[in-house]
């Protein structure tokens, strides 16, 4: 099981995530066969690939003009037709288990038995998805972060019936695309990165709701310090260096009791109406009237600058 450099990739579901994947696959030289049931999906897909092309060229991934890349993109009303002849499918269907199962059944009617099915699911477990599959061994979660054509991380996890071979092929595929895959040893709700994100946000929401600091100031605690570090090193390596010459062992010994006392003091949160009001008003103050579209443009520009930087430690 492997995905060749010039393999055809099917992209099923071409919303924001799927279209971003399609742009990346085309940029890396793959033919892409796409499918999505939404009205006007093909036109939107082609427009988004074109819109993403500049960033992919700036990062050195896309070579040549987008026009010739778009000639390698076909669109199919039937997902099974998109899957025909593909060495891999990246599926980005809605996050409902029955939708995913129906889709997988349709794909397997035309897909070669040794072709891989990669799922962008953030919330479903692969064991549940592969339940009715003819060849369940080939189902691998390849969970990206938005936008997939720019953010390096892809979380790889298989279900109970996924083959090691499929996992290794998925890792190799994403690495060749310039991604940074991480491999989960077992499935868990939210995978790794969203769990870490959720854990931090729970405390952020607690602090905002308690009025300890403003929503904007809590955000600045990340952009002014903690987020800067984590763009370079994860929390374990950060604390390894925080332990001085003793490293992580010294850190746990010297600062472990303080950290455990902080853990015991952390808050809880629910997204009730009053909490939602605090968050919505706090963000309105933080953004100072800039709308989401303008913020997204500024975020993308900053993201491009950051991704072009050598962040290796």
Q: Footprint of its own copies on residues 246-305 (CB under 8 A)?
A: 247-249, 252, 256, 258-263, 265-266, 268-271, 276, 279-280, 282-283, 286-287, 292-293, 295-296, 298-299, 302-303, 305
Asked if residue 68 binds its own copies (CB under 8 A), the reply is: no
- Residue from the set 50, 153, 168, 172 that interacts with its own copies by CB under 8 A: 153
Asked if residue 58 binds its own copies (CB under 8 A), the reply is: no
- Residue (of 197, 217, 199, 196) closest to 267 by Cα position: 199
Q: Provide the minimum distance between the beta carbon of 137 and its own copies in the complex, in angstroms, as a whole number.
A: 21
DSSP 8-state assignment for residue 98: H
**Would you mind telling me the total number of residues written for the chain in this entry?**
313
Q: Provide the minimum distance between the beta carbon of 26 and its own copies in the complex, in angstroms, as a whole number.
A: 22
* Rg of the chain (C-alpha set): 21
Q: Provide the minimum distance between the beta carbon of 77 and its own copies in the complex, in angstroms, as a whole number.
A: 26
- Using CA atoms, how far apart are residues 275 and 18, in angstroms rounded to an integer? 32
Asked if residue 233 binds its own copies (CB under 8 A), the reply is: yes
- Residue from the set 4, 64, 198, 274 that interacts with its own copies by CB under 8 A: 198
Q: Provide the minimum distance between the beta carbon of 285 and its own copies in the complex, in angstroms, as a whole number.
A: 11
Q: By C-beta, is 70 or 283 nearer to its own copies?
A: 283
Q: By C-beta, is 78 or 262 nearer to its own copies?
A: 262
Sheet of 88-91: strands edge to edge? Answer: 73-75, 31-35, 8-12, 88-91, 116-119, 139-144, 153-158, 180-183
CA distances in angstroms from 292 to 10, 229, 237, 304, 310, listed in the order given:
31, 26, 34, 18, 29
Asked if residue 178 binds its own copies (CB under 8 A), the reply is: no
- Using CA atoms, how far apart are residues 87 and 73, in angstroms rounded to an integer? 15
- Using CA atoms, how far apart are residues 18 and 44, in angstroms rounded to an integer? 11
CB neighbour list of residue 252: distance below 8 Å, 6 or more residues apart:
243
48 backbone φψ class: left, alpha, beta (φ>0; ψ -120 to 50) = alpha
- Residue from the set 43, 94, 195, 274 that interacts with its own copies by CB under 8 A: 195
Residue 119 near residue 140, CB atoms below 8 Å: yes
Asked if residue 59 binds its own copies (CB under 8 A), the reply is: no
Other beta carbons within 10 Å of 143: 26
- Residue from the set 57, 97, 151, 168 that interacts with its own copies by CB under 8 A: 151
Using the contact rule CB under 8 A, the part of the chain among 19-27, 62-70, 98-106, 189-197 near its own copies is: 189-197
Q: Provide the minimum distance between the beta carbon of 112 and its own copies in the complex, in angstroms, as a whole number.
A: 31
Residue 251 near residue 239, CB atoms below 8 Å: yes
Q: By C-beta, is 76 or 220 nearer to its own copies?
A: 220
- Residue from the set 47, 96, 225, 274 that interacts with its own copies by CB under 8 A: 225
User: Across the strands, what pairs with 144?
Assistant: 154
CB neighbour list of residue 59: distance below 8 Å, 6 or more residues apart:
150, 304, 307, 308
Q: Provide the minimum distance between the beta carbon of 300 and its own copies in the complex, in angstroms, as a whole number.
A: 9
- Residue from the set 68, 134, 146, 254 that interacts with its own copies by CB under 8 A: 146
Q: By C-beta, is 8 or 125 nearer to its own copies?
A: 125
Asked if residue 54 binds its own copies (CB under 8 A), the reply is: no
Q: Provide the minimum distance between the beta carbon of 281 and its own copies in the complex, in angstroms, as a whole number.
A: 9
Site for its own copies in 200-219 (CB under 8 A): 200-204, 207-208, 210-213, 215-219
């Amino acid at each position: 099981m492997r995905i060749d450099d010039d393999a055809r990739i099917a992209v099923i579901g071409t919303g924001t995530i799927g279209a971003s994947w399609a742009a990346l696959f085309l940029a890396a030289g793959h033919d892409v066969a796409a499918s999505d049931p939404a009205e006007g999906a093909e036109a939107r897909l082609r427009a988004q690939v074109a819109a993403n092309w500049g960033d992919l060229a700036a990062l050195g991934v896309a070579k040549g003009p987008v026009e010739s890349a778009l000639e390698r993109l076909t669109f199919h009303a039937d997902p099974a037709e998109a899957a025909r002849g593909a060495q891999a499918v990246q599926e980005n269907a809605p996050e409902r288990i029955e939708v995913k199962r129906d889709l997988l059944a349709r794909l397997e009617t035309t897909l070669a038995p040794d072709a891989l099915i990669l799922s962008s699911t953030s919330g479903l477990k692969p064991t549940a998805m592969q339940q009715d599959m003819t060849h369940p061994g080939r189902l691998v979660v390849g969970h990206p972060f938005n936008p997939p054509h720019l953010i390096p991380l892809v979380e790889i996890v298989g279900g109970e019936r996924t083959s090691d071979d499929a996992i290794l092929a998925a890792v190799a595929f994403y690495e060749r695309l310039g991604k940074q895959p991480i491999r989960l040893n077992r499935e868990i709700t939210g995978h790794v990165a969203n769990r870490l994100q959720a854990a931090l946000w729970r405390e952020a929401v607690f602090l905002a709701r308690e009025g300890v600091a403003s929503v904007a100031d809590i955000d600045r605690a990340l952009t002014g310090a903690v987020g800067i570090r984590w763009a370079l090193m994860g929390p374990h390596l950060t604390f390894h260096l925080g332990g001085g010459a003793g490293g992580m062992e010294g850190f746990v010994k010297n600062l472990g009791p303080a950290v455990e006392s902080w853990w015991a003091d952390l808050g809880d949160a629910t997204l009730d109406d009053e909490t939602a009001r605090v968050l919505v008003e706090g963000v309105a103050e933080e953004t100072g009237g800039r709308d989401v579209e303008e913020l997204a443009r500024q975020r993308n520009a900053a993201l491009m600058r950051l991704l072009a930087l050598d962040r290796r430690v």
